[in-house]
Structure 1
């Protein structure tokens, strides 16, 4: 099969399409012929040598895909050859075929095309596991998502609005903020020209928001604490501005703030299967009802994987970027 291979750690130019061995499926796994995969920031870190795949995972990038079941291993009862599915992966999406534990496979959401479905597994599992399973965001609460125009952000806005939450976002530029507003964001803050702490305080009568989802890291940490309500929850998804910062612990103490962080890729297959099951039960109906829609900026063929990575690293996109074999 063909796969996009990281020939050595480095810039986008190290991504090359090569002929590689087909994956072998183990007991309890499904072999998917890939229709599309979607880019995630973790892919660019893996390319740079900063985010190696977990032990036993495919060496090729790609944390989600959609496609058709081509084979099933022993013990797999739900899926059969020919099923159209999407899946959460530990790696290997940038290839024509990928083996994945059956518990990480999802049906294509009703009303969504096979290719577009590749945009959902990683963001849906990330947002549901962090914002809802761990931070317990509830109807009537307030929620701030940094990077509202990203793949995570565009999904998180729609799901939170569907669930009766007041949504705040930060994004850089009026075009990105306009998209966030169209998706349902209530308060849209241009981080390039506004102080998000002051705006959050102004919009909440000085209280702050209940939950913050942040992938910016060091430069936002103290300001996030200042933006939270009593019993507020801060969830750290990434560290785009670094992982080391100074913090005044008093605000955590005074407001009973809970700070959490977790990645998805390093979780056990059993843990991922639990999240995937919860996503199918709680998120897929919202997609089928048209309340959460795919936001896809651009699709590239595998041969243009380097160009797709350049686009992601430029942050000029809105929503998801797809790769097609």
Structure 2
């Protein structure tokens, strides 16, 4: 039979008769429809006879502002596509059995009073800091209405969003204080609408980018508004998950190797923790620039992963047992000359009695890194609290070596570097399209499990890049 007014063919379950519901019940139905379909009662069967506006044709409605497919229960045998038009909400049912739009399916348009209740409601993931300022909690927060698309804004339907660690301290230092901080900044999606002065994009373009540090938008939301200067086109052959999962690590690798250390053919690069998502991209970028790469690992599984990489890593140093001397191994590999570039994953600042975790015990000491640096070498560090004593500085002076701090957020803190920033993002997508970059990604996670994944990332317990797929 046909599901009343929707054209969904079913042969298993006969839905109960639909009745016109009062406005409070309609609002509740709207909320349940747009948030959790499996628990929803059959939709309303509204028609002209019940006093509603006549059903318009698709041509009179114009292009839909948003199209969503909502899965129906298996027993109903189909799915619904919900399209939001300026004039109202339109349901179209499609039967899996028939393979075409139901013969009796037609648009349903609600009058103005009821359309107000059927405004698009979306949920985004945000983090909230507790009163002590130490722990943060992640919550889904409803967004009733999107802000108006401004002149240079691009409205995106998010298809994938990668997760990265939220640096609450950095946000505080940048004077970014909000009750709810948006989560998820590396996004990929389809352009739905562009502002009047947008020149680089048009509707239906596939884009990828990183939301700025002070963005009001959560990437873990179906719709996001982004300034066009934070986006680039996504190549057709690159999937959504890979695009979102590579953009941040690619930016960090470019910043470290091209702008802080000037990698070139023949140089020797040491990448600490090379099996991490960032380490993997850094190794592949250094190899593409025909540099010799040495890497460290913290487990047997990571060592096996690096040994399978092609082209192969020159040497893999396993420091999981805590007995291997990284400096000695690097000097042995380079014939005593030392390495030209070091990209660390953190360093040991104090003696053993101050080490609080096994991970800190496996980190190299700052003296070891200074020892293995060659003449004119570059040390790119992620340790924001690095302290160098006068003997350390004197040793670096004798070698003519430099120390640089890797903070990829600097690209969006000033518009002066905007052109270089966009060139980097475009080059990352090109290398991903050509399989030069092969990211270390975990299995995609659905949106309803995003909160658990974000908590894992915030605790630094994820070894692969976590990506939410919509």
The TM-score bracket by the shorter chain reads 0.7 to 0.9
Q: What does the per-residue CA deviation read over 1:185-226, in whole Å, with 9 as the maximum and x for residues that have no partner? A: 222122223221111111111111111112314534332221
Q: CA deviation at 1:243?
A: 4.1
The equivalent residue for 1:126 is 252
| Aligned partner of residue 239 in structure 2, secondary structure | coil
Are 2:125 and 1:4 equivalent residues in the alignment?
A: yes
* Aligned-residue CA RMSD (Å): 2.7
> Is the CA contact (8 Å cut-off) linking 2:129 and 2:135 kept in structure 1?
no
Q: Which moved more, 1:60-69 or 1:309-318?
A: 309-318
| Aligned partner of residue 79 in structure 1, secondary structure | coil
Distance 2:164 2:221 in 1: 15
Distance 1:100 1:93 in 2: 10
Are 2:159 and 1:35 equivalent residues in the alignment?
A: yes
| Aligned partner of residue 167 in structure 1, secondary structure | strand
> Is the CA contact (8 Å cut-off) linking 1:69 and 1:84 kept in structure 2?
yes
User: In the superposition, relative to structure 1, how do residues 54 and 38 fare at CA in structure 2: closer, same or farther (>3 Å)?
Assistant: farther
Matched ranges for 1:256-275 at <5 A:
256-266=400-410, 267-268=412-413, 270-271=415-416, 273-275=418-420
| Aligned partner of residue 286 in structure 1, secondary structure | helix
User: In the superposition, relative to structure 1, how do residues 225 and 285 fare at CA in structure 2: closer, same or farther (>3 Å)?
Assistant: same
Q: CA deviation at 1:310?
A: 4.3
> Is the CA contact (8 Å cut-off) linking 1:104 and 1:272 kept in structure 2?
no
Are 2:233 and 1:112 equivalent residues in the alignment?
A: no
Distance 2:220 2:386 in 1: 28
Matched ranges for 1:215-234 at <5 A:
215-219=345-349, 220-234=365-379
Q: CA deviation at 1:171?
A: 2.1
Distance 1:218 1:51 in 2: 25
The equivalent residue for 1:200 is 330
The equivalent residue for 1:76 is 198
Q: Which moved more, 1:166-175 or 1:307-316?
A: 307-316
The equivalent residue for 1:248 is 392
Aligned residues: 318
Which gives a bigger RCO, structure 1 or 2 (Cα 8 Å, sep 6+)?
1
Q: CA deviation at 1:311?
A: 3.4
> Is the CA contact (8 Å cut-off) linking 1:147 and 1:171 kept in structure 2?
yes
> Is the CA contact (8 Å cut-off) linking 1:162 and 1:286 kept in structure 2?
no
User: In the superposition, relative to structure 1, how do residues 134 and 195 fare at CA in structure 2: closer, same or farther (>3 Å)?
Assistant: same
Q: Which moved more, 1:185-194 or 1:118-127?
A: 185-194
* Runs (5+) with no aligned partner, structure 2: 1-121, 350-364
Distance 2:151 2:340 in 1: 43
Bigger Rg, structure 1 or 2: 2
> Is the CA contact (8 Å cut-off) linking 2:126 and 2:182 kept in structure 1?
yes
Tell me which of 252, 260, 267 is aligned to 1:141. Answer: 267
| Aligned partner of residue 270 in structure 2, secondary structure | strand
Q: CA deviation at 1:313?
A: 5.4
The equivalent residue for 1:65 is 187
| Aligned partner of residue 182 in structure 2, secondary structure | coil
Tell me which of 278, 292, 316 is aligned to 1:152. Answer: 278
Distance 1:106 1:172 in 2: 35
Distance 2:203 2:124 in 1: 22
* Runs (5+) with no aligned partner, structure 1: none
Q: CA deviation at 1:288?
A: 2.2
| TM-score, normalised by the number of residues in structure 1 | 0.86
